[in-house]
Amino acid sequence: MGPRSFNFFRAGGFDQVRFENGQDFINLDQLDWKLWVALACPTKGLAFDSRTLELIDADKDGRIRAPELIAAIKWAGALLKNPDDFLQSPAELSLASINLEVEEGKRIHDAAKTVLRGLGKGDATVISVPDSAAAVKAFHDMAFNGDGVIPPESTETPEQKQLVLDVMATIGNADDKSGKKGVNAEQVKTFFAAVAEYVGWITKAEGDPTLMPLGTATVAAYEAMKVVRAKVEDYFARCAMALFDARAAAALNREEKEYLAVAAKDLTITSEEIKSFPLSRIEGGRALPLLEAVNPAWAAALATFTTATLEPVLGEKTALTEAEWAQVTGKLAVFGQWQSSKVGGIVEKLGVERLKVLDTETSRALLDPLFALEKAQEPTANSIASVEKLVRYTRDLFQLTNNFVSFKDFYERKRPAIFQVGTLFLDQRECELVIRVDDPVKHAVMAPLSRGYLVYCECARPASNEKMNIVAAFTAGESDNLMVGRNGLFKDRDGKDWDATITRLVDNPISIRQAFWSPYKKVLRFVEEQVAKRAAEEEKDSNALLADGVTHVGKAGEEGKVVKEPQKLDIGVVAALGVAVGGITAAMGALLQSFFGLGLWMPLGVVGLLGLISGPSMLIAWLKLRQRNIGPLLDANGWAVNAHAMLNIPFGASLTKTAALPAGSKLDTRDPYAEARKPWRLYITFVILLAVTVAWYLGKLDHLLPAPARSVAVLGPDAPAAIQKPEIIIKAEEPPKAPEPAK
């Protein structure tokens, strides 16, 4: 038999599988993975039953992969008589639908009946997810629930309870399915191994007197010596260097500037700076004083060392020579070697006496009956767990597949896809493509490749101290009023409402209509900014000029000087302004002349001008909107989308609803606070008439008019074409007359 044939449908610009019957569904493993829409998805952040996802996630890594989905379908498909039941997604599993021809089916059927009897529903023929969940919880709350963990509350004797507490205090604990803490067999085994090692180590010392030269006081003596050992050896090494060369003594005692640095601070005896100084003043061959002239940070430790170590070995001492120090360390060397070979130290805090009691066969077998009871409950636990799994799989697997192998739910729009976590209401729009994100910064690195206009929001419910982050795709309307800091309302799939605040925007075209007006809005914003900037500069200059004028007048009055009149306007500036105005007027005239020269083609000229201005923006928007897809949005969230799941213009627009009055509503358009309306129609009519008059006067309409109505016929020589430029005659000035000779 060849590979199974499947039926497909086209949506989002690509082919997707459609499961026509249960056989298609349970034979999903025969569908080429290249035809799957997604190959993996996360178990968190989805509007889907988290417990079902947890059961499918076999390796517990927080992701559902294609093999895990196939395994879940195969397992559940073998336990149902009719695989068509999956397509119904029933809320309750009929006991009659369980396949009794397989051994596991029989066990699940019997366990389901046991569960129903325990819930007081012995006559029921169906079992629901709440029923199975209640049974699982009730079984987990039992003292022995088959999970292999024994909490202290499940013990039967005080000795068993104390042993469990000892293991938890030293080795650690395990989570019981009831929610309590306990221990498992592996932890108990590790515990007794450590007990045996430690007791054996202690016993070795008790049987060898050379290991404990000071008897029971050896431990305290060795510990006191360990505290000061490094500093004492440092002191004698420095003294040896000073004896070798007296010039080194100053440096070995630390320089004066180091004492000055310490003195500049608030001193405490235990400060680290003081502890780093030598135990006492360094001199060649000098013994270490023990009671006086010692570093105050080490005085207490030296006193303990003197009492606990030196007195039992050397007797009372006020100073310690290097030779005596060698005698002391040699005396305790064997004990130190034994101490370094310690094993099982993890249980040492229980004490030697307690550990000797535990190091017996009786203690090792103390918990064996309890673990046997746990083991006996494993089949029941597995059967009840299988009941829950089958009920959930029968209800949920088909929906998950229609959001994994295909995106049928998303493109059919009959119900939201599992990655659509709710609806965002913001700026008079209702956005349905809303995805939950854990890390908006990381998500925003890849999400812009979706070519959509994205709005990231931080959502909060102060009453319950809940927070989460979402990203919404705006696919209709304008983006002018969307900005960081704006607030909206998010409604999740459970009906709970959240405060939503915009934290980040990803700018992409929303529609071709928006792209058409975009250049004009940018020019308008630029003009507004420049006017505001220029006005601010003029106001600043005016204020400065006024202040300067007042100051100047005040000083002139004090000095008795006459205030000069303001400097007159430079004629050259006036001439320059005239030239500029003339140039602008000439350019406008040429533009109008070219425009009116189009004649009947003037409307096409208007269209061409608009196309020239808005065309590039519209082309870019069209290209980006054709590339818009949901893949990067989901991939950035942990999915492995395997197709170009496009969001074309019609489908994208359906994901965002703009504000509209309900059908049958009445609108009173009288606004008492509306601004006075300008007679724009009159203005437009006047401009059109003026333009037509100018065009007729220039003769641009003559070829469209009858001969008597043409401008040349009406105006005659006064028509622009008949008017000649006047001659400019420059007359030479007459030379001045010579003065008459004096008489």
Going by the DSSP 8-state scheme, the letter that residue 280 receives in this structure is: B
Distance separating alpha carbons of residues 410 and 566, to the nearest angstrom: 76
Sign of CA dihedral 445, 446, 450, 455: negative
In tens, the pLDDT along 522-533 reads 666 666 677 777
pLDDT of residue 726: 45
Pair (122, 38) in one structural domain = yes
Establish if 385 belongs to a structural domain.
yes
Shared-domain flag, residues 134 and 254: no
The answer to whether 583 touches 590, Cβ cutoff 8 Å, is no
Both 35 and 124 in one domain: the answer is: yes
CA distance 107 to 508: 57
Cβ distance 415 to 398 under 8 Å? Answer: no
Among 411, 432, 460, residue at a domain's last position:
411
Instruction: State which amino acid sits at residue 726.
Output: P
pLDDT of residue 161: 95
Domain boundary among 390, 411, 432: 411
Whole-number Å distance between alpha carbons of 76 and 95: 14
Nearest to 287 by CA among 236, 216, 230, 229: 236
| Residue 14 and residue 131 in one domain | yes
The answer to whether residue 274 sits within a structural domain is: yes
| Banded pLDDT at 607 (limits 50, 70, 90) | low
The predicted-structure confidence for 281-301, as pLDDT tens digits, reads as follows 888 889 999 888 888 889 999
Measured between its terminal Cα atoms, the distance across the chain in Å is: 145
Q: Is residue 90 part of a domain?
A: yes
What does pLDDT average to over the chain? 83
601: pLDDT strictly greater than 60: no
Count other Cβ atoms within 10 Å, centred on residue 460. Answer: 16
Structural domain count, the chain: 2
pLDDT tens digits for range 186-229: 999 999 999 999 999 888 877 777 788 888 788 899 899 999 99
Domain residues for the domain of 306 are 214-331
Cβ contact 154:165 at 8 Å: no
Chain-centre distance of CA 510, in angstroms?
Answer: 24
User: For residue 332, which of 234, 230, 224, 207 has the smallest C-alpha distance?
Assistant: 224
Q: Band the pLDDT of 67: cuts 50, 70, 90.
A: very high
H or E segment to which residue 504 belongs: strand 497-506
**411, 427, 460 - which closes a domain:** 411
**In this model, does residue 569 exceed pLDDT 50?**
no
Same domain? 272 vs 392: no
What are the E-state strand segments in 209-290? 288-289
Which H, E and C letters describe 445-487, residue by residue? HHHHHHCCEEEEEEEEECCCCEEEEEEEEECCCCCCCCCCCCE
Nearest to 150 by CA among 173, 134, 127, 169: 173
Contact between 380 and 111 (Cβ < 8 Å): yes
| Residue with token string 């425009």 | 595
Answer whether residue 404 is part of any domain. yes
Question: In this structure, what token pair is assigned to residue 119?
Answer: 């819930």
What's the pLDDT tens digit per position in 16-52? 999 999 999 999 999 999 999 999 999 999 999 999 9
Q: How far is CA 464 from the centre of its chain?
A: 21
The pLDDT-based confidence of 648 (bands split at 50, 70, 90) is: confident
Residues 6+ apart with CB under 8 A from 20: 7
Q: Does residue 644 contact residue 13 with C-beta atoms inside 8 Å?
A: yes
Rounded CA Rg of the chain: 47
Q: Is 533 exposed, middle or buried (0-12, 13-18, 19+ CB in 10 A)?
A: exposed
Binned at pLDDT 50, 70 and 90, residue 665 comes out as confident
Alpha helices in 266-314 (DSSP H): 272-275, 299-305, 311-314
475 touches 422 (CB < 8 A): no
